[in-house]
Amino acid sequence: MAGDTAKALNVQPIAIEVVKRCAGLPVLIATVAKALKDAALYVWKDSLKQLERFDKDGMHAEVYSALELSYNHLKGQEIKSLFLLIALHGQRSVSKHDLLIISMGLGLFKYVDTLEDARNRLNKLTNDLEESCLLIKDEREIENVKIHDLVRYAGSSIAAKDQLFRTDIEFESKEWPRKDILVKYRGLLLSVHHQSDLPERLESPQLKLFALKCQEDHLKISDSFFEVMREVKVLCFYEMKLISSPPLVLHGLNCLRALYLYECTLEDISIVGELTNLEILSVRQSDLKQLPSEIGRLHRLKMLDLMYCKSLKVITPTVISNLIGLEELNMEGSFINWEVEAGCNSKSYNASLGELKELPSLRSLCIRIPDARTLSTDIFLFFGKLQKFKIEIGERTSWPSIYKFSQILTIKSSGSCIIQSENWIRILPEKVEYLKLDRVNGVKNVFLDMNAKGFSQLKVLKVSNDAETECLINFISSKNPRHVLQSLEKLVLKHWNNLVHICRGPITEESFCKLRIVRVYGCQKLKSLFSFPMSRIISQLVEIQVSNCVSMEEIVSLGREMENHDPGLGDIEFAELRYLKIMGLPALISFCSMRRISSVSQGLSHKLPIDTEIEKMDATGKYENSRK
């Protein structure tokens, strides 16, 4: 891990001493080794001196000095500042959303103007910290970073020593820190418990970041609390009841670039409209009933985060359209009372979807549209121009993680959201990655009605409760092979009562080339899962699930005509199959009546009921169905 130089004879004795100074703790050894990877002899000697010089006693001294050494070897102030911010959060897992708000507000990233660029820089730096072993690498954590407790404690100490930031995560004293202590810091992250009152005024003129968490109902913030710290750029309140406190206390904070109110109880945030330099406003999971007209003055606002503001019922008309600098709008689990666009003589009481079209810089959008009457053709076209979107039309449905896919669209018809025209499907955003259609009727051939490029970026397709459509893909009348779904990884079809074919007609070899998972449930008229056009993809499938398809006779159907034209076709192989579930198929005769099943993956974990057991399948792929 420390590179080839650590193996050199003149470096090895020093490397051994460095390891001893790491107190035998793997997290420290790994961190220091990464910092000194391929370093020259003089660097190893200097590093050992740093570890020996530390003037504290015991284990803590060894831990601190080893981690401080790794911190000092980080290249650039950006990554150092980000590491300290992560350490100061006081948690093993820290949200990248929080880090983005604070980093962007403080202007930590050089030559970064847009939120997309800032997010890319953040991801790059957190990856560098993982490679340096100062953060824990976890592939399952998409939108959080993880840090070891020892590393976090050392980071907090470094920040306090350098007079950059101070944190008191369990600050329970009834006495506020002394003025001579607070005046030195540029950032304070405090969690207050059993605190009777905050001071009348915070004496920290250099403060750029202030974050406060307090669940006490009685806590009051004086109107003059921020009077001295007019240079503050980032203000964060967590889990606070700010019914009467925020209006006047925010007055005059003209340098504020980011305001984060998380899980707060809010009443009137009209005064936020005075913060004309504000670039980020997040009221995530807060109790907020109305977004007032004053918010429309924030022409420099780049991010408006209203995620899970479940009480939000009113957004004053033209507020959204006035936010001309907006790049990201997140309304997941929030406002849904979109109005139908009114005529020039009609009065509106709420925002309409048409306002979104007035935002030239918008790149990311997350909304739910329960009423299809508020939709229009140009809105669908507008969605297609976005870099990221998560759009839910109709009834609420289960969504995948917003961070796993960049373009997500779900449509579920019911009640006021009834989509029956064939025209709408032709204008769906072509670059959608995750598409879920539920109870969408009136389309006889889904992908023939979609645009000719065949949704090249679609990775997951789910279709449920379709009563009319007979074929998912039908190019039977086409003379030349068609290109479709070359990026699709997962296909799920549920309760599609009229489905006869999944795919008919010639398709290119690139079509379905990445498909790994196929799940089909309750498709009553479907007689086979794979017809000849799709038979070549079988060898790449990892999972197959088929259940309650009462007419299904075979899994793979090549057709008699294919046998006559090409008797030399090879055996059917399930080379990659790991999971197979076949259930409730009373008409099933065979896997493939015209080919041998030459091989099944050795790693197969099959799940089959009594009526269709894989042990009963002979070399020709025939089944003995015990229910017949």
Q: How confident is the model at residue 276 (pLDDT cuts 50, 70, 90)?
A: very high
CB-CB contact of 314 with 290 (8 Å): yes
Strand positions, DSSP E, 538-584: 543-547, 554-557, 572-574, 579-583
pLDDT at 305 over 60: yes
- Give the SS3 label for residue 322: helix
CB-CB contact of 295 with 267 (8 Å): no
Rounded Cα gap, residues 160 and 145, in angstroms: 22
CB-CB contact of 71 with 83 (8 Å): yes
CA atoms within 13 A on the CB side of 625: 15
CA atoms within 13 A on the CB side of 191: 9
- Average per-residue pLDDT in the chain? 78
Q: What was the pLDDT predicted at 572? A: 63
Q: Which two tokens stand for residue 353?
A: 């979807």
Q: Report phi then psi at 302, rounded to 5.
A: -105, -30
- Where is pLDDT greater, at 60 or 65? 65
Q: Tokens 């707060």 identify what position? A: 264
Question: How many residues are recorded in the chain?
Answer: 628
The predicted model gives 384-408 an average pLDDT of 79
Q: Which two tokens stand for residue 493?
A: 């079809």
Q: What was the pLDDT predicted at 26? A: 62
Rounded CA Rg of the chain: 30
pLDDT at 249 over 60: yes
Burial class (CB in 10 A: 0-12, 13-18, 19+), 456: middle
The predicted model gives 283-294 an average pLDDT of 95
Q: Tokens 């009594």 identify what position? A: 610
- Give the SS3 label for residue 62: helix
Q: What was the pLDDT predicted at 593? A: 62
- Where is pLDDT greater, at 175 or 525? 525
Is beta strand 407-412 parallel, antiparallel or unpaired with respect to 258-262? unpaired
Would you tell me the crossing angle of helices 149-161 and 26-35 to the nearest 10 degrees? Answer: 60
Domain boundaries, the chain: 1-73, 522-628
Could you tell me which of 555, 549, 547, 543 has the C-alpha nearest to residue 621?
Answer: 555
Q: What was the pLDDT predicted at 225? A: 83
User: What are the distances in angstroms from CA 202 to CA 34, 156, 185, 188, 205?
Assistant: 41, 21, 12, 11, 8
Q: Tokens 């006490």 identify what position? A: 216
Q: What was the pLDDT predicted at 62? A: 61
Q: What angle do CA 507, 512, 516 make, to 5 degrees?
A: 155
CA atoms within 13 A on the CB side of 563: 9
Q: What was the pLDDT predicted at 28? A: 63
Q: How confident is the model at residue 78 (pLDDT cuts 50, 70, 90)?
A: very high
DSSP 74: S
Q: How confident is the model at residue 346 (pLDDT cuts 50, 70, 90)?
A: low
Give the other-Cβ count within 10 Å of 262's Cβ.
21
- Where is pLDDT greater, at 261 or 73? 261
pLDDT tens column, 84-93: 999 988 788 9
Rounded Cα gap, residues 574 and 557, in angstroms: 15
pLDDT tens column, 478-529: 777 777 888 999 999 999 888 888 888 778 888 889 999 999 999 999 998 8
Highest mean pLDDT among 64-73, 96-105, 187-196, 416-425: 96-105
Rounded Cα gap, residues 373 and 439, in angstroms: 17
Give the other-Cβ count within 10 Å of 198's Cβ.
18
The predicted model gives 315-336 an average pLDDT of 96
Burial class (CB in 10 A: 0-12, 13-18, 19+), 99: buried
DSSP 265: E
Rounded Cα gap, residues 294 and 323, in angstroms: 11
Is beta strand 209-213 parallel, antiparallel or unpaired with respect to 165-171? unpaired
pLDDT at 114 over 70: yes
Amino acid identity for residue 343 in this structure: G
Q: What was the pLDDT predicted at 311? A: 95
Name the H helices within 89-194: 96-106, 115-131, 149-161, 179-182
Q: How confident is the model at residue 623 (pLDDT cuts 50, 70, 90)?
A: very low
Could you tell me which of 259, 258, 249, 197 has the C-alpha nearest to residue 228?
Answer: 249
**Predicted TM-score (pTM) of this structure:** 0.83
Distance of CA 485 to the CA centre of its chain: 23
The predicted model gives 278-306 an average pLDDT of 96
Q: How confident is the model at residue 229 (pLDDT cuts 50, 70, 90)?
A: confident
Q: What was the pLDDT predicted at 608? A: 38
pLDDT at 597 over 60: no
Could you tell me which of 220, 258, 271, 270 has the C-alpha nearest to residue 242?
Answer: 220
User: What are the distances in angstroms from CA 182 to CA 83, 106, 189, 478, 563?
Assistant: 22, 19, 12, 75, 84
Q: What was the pLDDT predicted at 625? A: 43
- Where is pLDDT greater, at 142 or 303? 303
Highest mean pLDDT among 28-32, 363-367, 368-372, 606-610: 363-367
Q: What was the pLDDT predicted at 605? A: 47
Q: What was the pLDDT predicted at 290? A: 95
CB-CB contact of 471 with 501 (8 Å): yes
Q: Which two tokens stand for residue 334?
A: 């929030």
CB-CB contact of 344 with 309 (8 Å): no
Can you name the residues that pair with 237 across neighbouring β-strands? 212, 261
pLDDT tens column, 551-586: 998 888 866 545 544 544 556 677 788 888 888 999
CB-CB contact of 318 with 295 (8 Å): no
Distance of CA 569 to the CA centre of its chain: 44
The percent of residues above 70 in pLDDT, for the chain, comes to 71
CB-CB contact of 389 with 364 (8 Å): yes
